[in-house]
Structure 1
């Protein structure tokens, strides 16, 4: 599969990508190679990865606890301390081996340690393959507020190897599918239609096209001043819902994709009411989402808490929440202002 060239780094695919990693290590003469994992990737992915790492450099393994709840500065401090105690210096390399939490947090850790060391992303979940590992965003959450602390920093390379998906639970595959749906409705409707038809899905092709789309968008707008905002479709309300369930002691956490799927249904409804997005296409998106994800009922008594969390969205300006909405499939409008009553109405529509 052909390599995709991002702004300053390549995205390699499948087994051939490990040769490129070996060349990178040899050419840069790194002092130490740190590999960041969680308990799941240590058990299931590290044994698949390590035979492919051809080097005589010193290798150190650093493990953190899995889950969005651990994507915070406290975990970063633990990783920074570990790198320091293990003799890390400016010529060290950090390899992130894991899902979105690992790649987001690991990239942030690497970019800040001694004002920046090289890092390589090896995503192991569908979500991280099609979204989190590509595009140069790194960061951590502030409490339950998603990705409030971070910076733009590019890896030396990204390695996408579908073999790691064999280690992932079906729920996590579904979580990543939400990002592919997002690319479909905003940028390339063929992706959405493939998932809608659900006939012999070629996951390799879906991943490649998703990475290709994200790279095309990021190359045009690396700092999210304009076009890149389309990658936030479904995420404005979706992140608020995800954060609400994360902080609620009496509710099971939603995966990122489950929350974003709800957000996309709601934001399609808002699009219909404000921009004339065809109602039959709202139904199409809702039907696909409901067919993939277990239904989550958003309780009316929780609406106000979700709306409060919207006030902390990263795209807000002067306290005003900004949505990405659709005129039609592949035809979007950024920085849309949505009345609170319509946001509530959209959640009620999702519940129906």
Structure 2
């Protein structure tokens, strides 16, 4: 597990030292159109003179191999060698895609993650997962590759609109539900009304690191981190095929957590009270994702491509109580569709 993790006001100072290391031949910085506008000014003084910016469009629909080709073309045309450094500045799309591009360019160049959304700060940038979507399926193509460093500056969160901030909060809640019942109980009355996110980010990243250290390649325990994602990814992938109905990843995960909490209850793992607590809390923050009952089977079909599956068995991470996740729980397409119908009726 990579220990070069910097959180708080010192994060960008750490970045400034890293990009000026003698072993690094060139510095390239990957932005999307939003981070180029809103985050680059805060970052500029910490970057070396003569760095090369690379800009890509913003949005999940651009998390593709075609966008990777844009990045690889820019690196190639600039004659970047294997000692070049790629700094990825953005949310989960940029950190996932940028890490993937770095891992494959010339069989691997170093990269640094500078996550600018709450979702990326507490989840996407930490743990060494990289990848892109393919044929409509989330993160279908990817590799595990640890970054040289992760530099988390909470001030970037001030550039987010409330919807983006809430989307990231879903991953914070996920960490509580799988591993920290006390944190869930403590924060239920607080919600997202925070002036300083530093301690929340540190706590959430710490929980993820504890799990990833024990299982860096997701052969077992790390699957806990997929709670809410089997149904959530299916819902997100389906809606991405429906123009004008796209939702943010965190919004899909929040809906997925309710569905998978219901599945936990359905299988006798979660009590009525705990299911009610999870539903009540998540609906106090997230608006209901809209779909019609007739779509539930089509949405469920996307779960057949989930990366936790074994053969034809759909494996899900469920809860055997708040704060106690359990992985490799087999579920059927019919059960996933039933969970979506349950969510729809709420």
Q: What is the TM-score of this pair, normalised by structure 2?
A: 0.96
**Deviates further, 187-196 or 299-308:** 187-196
Which residue of 1 is the match for residue 265 of structure 2? 272
Alpha-carbon separation, structure 1, partners of 2:303 and 2:334: 14
Tell me, in whole angstroms, the C-alpha distance in 2 between the residues paired with 1:303 and 1:89.
Answer: 48
Task: Show the 5 A alignment for 1:37-186.
Answer: 37-53=31-47, 55-56=48-49, 58-186=50-178
Displacement of 1:279 in angstroms is 1.1
Give yes or no for contact 1:191–1:206 (8 Å, CA) kept in 2: no
**Deviation of 1:16 (Å):** 1.6
Whether 2:323 is the aligned partner of 1:330: answer yes
Contact 1:9 1:154 in 2 (8 A): no
| Contact in 2 for aligned 1:217/1:228 (Cα 8 Å) | yes
Q: CA deviation at 1:192?
A: 2.2
**Distance apart, 1:342 and its partner CA:** 2.7
- Is 1:20 paired with 2:14? yes
Q: Deviations over 1:108-143 (max 9, x none)?
A: 000100011110000000000000000000000002
Aligned pair partner of 1:226 in 194, 216, 220: 220
Whole-angstrom CA distance in 1 between matches of 2:174 and 2:187 = 11
Paired position in structure 1 for 2:309: 316
* 2:5 alignment counterpart: 11
Contact kept? 1:298, 1:347, Cα under 8 Å: no
Q: Deviations over 1:159-199 (max 9, x none)?
A: 00011001011000000010011001110123323442117
Give the structure 2 partner of residue 4 of structure 1.
none
Preserved contact between residue 180 and residue 191 of structure 1 (Cα < 8 Å)? no
Quote the residue 1:30 is aligned against: 24
- Pairwise CA distance, 1:239: 0.2
Q: Give the 3-state SS of the residue equivalent to 1:322 in structure 2.
A: strand
Between 15-24 and 69-78, the greater mean CA deviation after superposition:
15-24
Is the CA contact (8 Å cut-off) linking 1:64 and 1:75 kept in structure 2?
yes
Deviations 1:212-269 (CA, angstroms, capped at 9, x unpaired): 11111000000111110000000001000000010112x4211001100111001011
Moved over 4 A (4+): none
Secondary structure (helix, strand or coil) at the match of 2:20 reads: helix
Contact (CA 8 Å) 1:104, 1:138: kept in 2 or not?
Answer: yes
Conservation of the 8 A alpha-carbon contact between 2:313 and 2:330: yes
Equivalent residues in 2 for 1:244-263 (5 A)?
244-249=238-243, 251-263=244-256
**Is the 8 Å Cα contact of residues 180 and 192 (structure 1) preserved in structure 2?**
no
- Matched with 2:198 is 204
Aligned partners of 2:179, 2:58: CA distance in 1, in Å? 32
1:126·1:165 contact (CA, 8 Å) conserved in 2? yes
Measure, in 2, the Cα distance between the counterparts of 1:324 and 1:79: 34
Show the counterpart of 2:289: 296
- 1:3 — aligned with what? none
| TM-score normalised per structure 1 | 0.94
2:181 aligned to 172, 178, 189, which one? 189
Measured on the aligned residues, the alpha-carbon RMSD in Å equals 1.4
Question: Number of matched residues?
Answer: 343
Distance 1:72 1:101 in 2: 10
Deviations 1:72-128 (A, max 9, x none): 100001110011112211111000000000000000000100011110000000000
